[in-house]
Every structure is written in C-alpha cells, then in structure tokens.
Amino acid sequence: MIDYASYEDAVLRHLWDWADRYHANELDGKGGSRRPPVLRSEFASKSVLVPPHPAKAAAVLSAVPDGERHRWFRSSKSSQALAQSVFGAVVAFERLDLLNDVIADCGRPAFLEDARSASLVLEHNVRNLGEPRSTSVDVFLEACSRRVAVECKFMEREFGTCSRTRLGPRDSTYAEQHCDGNYRVQLGRRARCALTEIGVRYWTWLPQLFDWNADHDLRPCPLSGTYQLARNALAATVTANGCDQDSGHVLIVYDARNPEFAAGGTAERQYVSAVAACRVPGLFRQLSWQRLAGALTGATELAYLVTGLEGKYGIRPE
C-alpha cells in the first residue's frame, strides 16, 4: 500500500499542474513542494468547479454562502470546495436522481433509495444538540423523514476529535472544561463530560446509538477519537422529537487513493472503532469520490464536472 507521503506528493503535483495551467496569475504567490496552491482572496470562488452556463455557475456558487466557507477554502485541497463542486452541481442541474443507484462500500444505498424529491443543502446547521456552536454537516439530504449526513474528506488524515483534551492552561475555559481523555467526573464538575456540563446533549442520545453507558466511568472516553463521526450520527438521527435510530445514516465520502482511509490508516481505524461500537446496522457507510464520479458520467450536462474532477484532483470515475 502506498504511504501517505507518497500519496500527498502525487496529489500536490497534480494540483500544482492544474493551478499553473488555469490560475497562474490568481495564486497567493507562495510556493513549495509540500504546500498546495492557494488562490488569493479575490479569486476564492474559483476554488469551485463550475459549468460554462452563467446561471448554473451562479447556482453552484450560491450553494455555500461566503460566510460559511472554511478557513482554507481557497486552498486547492479544500474538501469543502470539492463537495460544493459536486453536490452544488447536482442541485443546480436538478439531478438528485443520479444519487439513487449509488451503492456504498458496504453494499447498502449510499444516499436515499429515491432522492428525487429530497432536499439537499450544504453546511447544514444542526439545532437539536444544545451546542453553543451548532454542528455543521457538510452535505445534508432529507426526504420523507429520512436523513443522510454526508461528511466529505479529501486529503485529510483523520476525522475530527474532541477538542477538550487539547485545551491548555492559557485557554480561557481550561479550568472548567479541560478533559484528561477519560469519561469521568474531574476538575470539580458534576457531569462526567465537560460538554454535558455546559448543556451539550450528546450523551443524552449516544447510548441509543452506541454501546456506551453514560452512567459509568469510561476509560478512555470512547467519544474522544470518534467525535466527528458520532456528531454526524447524532445529526442524522436526532430531531426535536428525540432520537430515531432508523431515521437516517452517515455517509463518508473519501478519496480512494488516500492511505489513511485504507486498512491500517488513522481515519480507517477511527471509522472501524465507531462501527464496532454502533448499535444500529448501516448507520455508517462509506463511498469513494471515484465511485460517485462514476455515477455522474451518465449526465451529459455534468461532463464538465467529471472532466474537472480528474483534471484538478486526479479523481477518475469508477
């Protein structure tokens, strides 16, 4: 299996070749073999692959408002820009039907059995978990009370982990919210989880989805390393009426070339850990960008996108 450094080198070379051909005068001027090309701020929207039709291009670009762009959106390796390019186009051209027959790695439907009547939004904010800052789901599909929370990855090496273990003495919330990585009462708190202490309701619902007992100490905390995956599971299943285990699922879209998502990789180990503890069959599913690109090849209006995915990212349809 290729190592991550080799994968990174190959993708960065591809990204630089694309940037030099199409955006040579729009970059921030900083080079380096270990750094992806980054557009200057006034050209940020060019991170997204758009069709030649102006109205459709505007529709794709409006799928993620400027205020919702991630910090590194202008980087050519931005997974948010990649997600916007693909899912923004599916919405703009009203081709959610292309998602119907896409099969996840596990053999289950990747999206919904019939997505034609679904709503699809990017950067969907979840409002039912009591978070001071709402979970934002990369792509969110909903139809007939079924939901799919889509987490999009590209060159990332891992899924997000709980930040409370990373709080340092200089952080304003350190004294009250620092966690040593174990699910137990500490620092004078009443709750075992620092997030529960401030009103976040993850642990209200997690035991319904995972074999994690909220009423006992857990060493280490199983949420720490599966944090982003678990939050997506909650986003897919928790509504204002409570948690419905069978109402939705999480879909991870990843680059099939990325070794961190292959056996033994960091992201793969996190995923396996979440699946192993999960009480709901099929709650977690995976799909490669390559297979998703293959589902788009039948739509002539998306030929520009299929070509762009290979040209910019090296993502070839399967």
Q: How far from 231 is each of 225, 250, 280, CA to CA, in Å?
A: 12, 10, 15
Assess if residue 160 is contained within a domain. Answer: no
Residue 34: inside a domain, yes or no? yes
Number of residues assigned to the chain: 318
pLDDT digits (tens, 9 = 90+) for 21-64: 999 999 998 877 689 999 999 999 999 999 999 999 999 999 99
Residue 41 lies in a domain: yes
Residue 223 placed within a domain: no
Q: What is the pLDDT of residue 145?
A: 82
Q: Which pLDDT belongs to residue 115?
A: 84
* pLDDT greater than 70 at residue 192: yes
Which burial class, exposed, middle or buried, applies to 169 when counting CB atoms under 10 A from its CB (0-12, 13-18, 19+)?
Answer: exposed
Quote the domain boundaries for residue 291.
4-153+248-257+281-313
In a domain? residue 22: yes
- The position carrying tokens 């977690």 is 284
Which of 257, 260, 193 has its CA nearest to residue 230?
A: 193
**The pLDDT of residue 128 is above 80:** yes
Residue 180, domain member (yes or no): no
Interval 249-268: pLDDT, tens? 999 999 999 999 999 999 99
pLDDT at 150: 98
How many domains does one find in the chain? 1
Classify residue 104: in a domain, yes or no: yes
Per-residue model confidence as pLDDT tens digits over 85-126: 999 999 999 999 999 999 999 999 999 988 888 999 999 999
pLDDT class for 198, splitting at 50, 70, 90?
Answer: very high
Give per-residue pLDDT as tens, 221-246. 999 999 999 999 999 999 999 999 99
Asked if residue 202 is part of any domain, the answer here is: no
Cβ distance 60 to 51 under 8 Å? yes
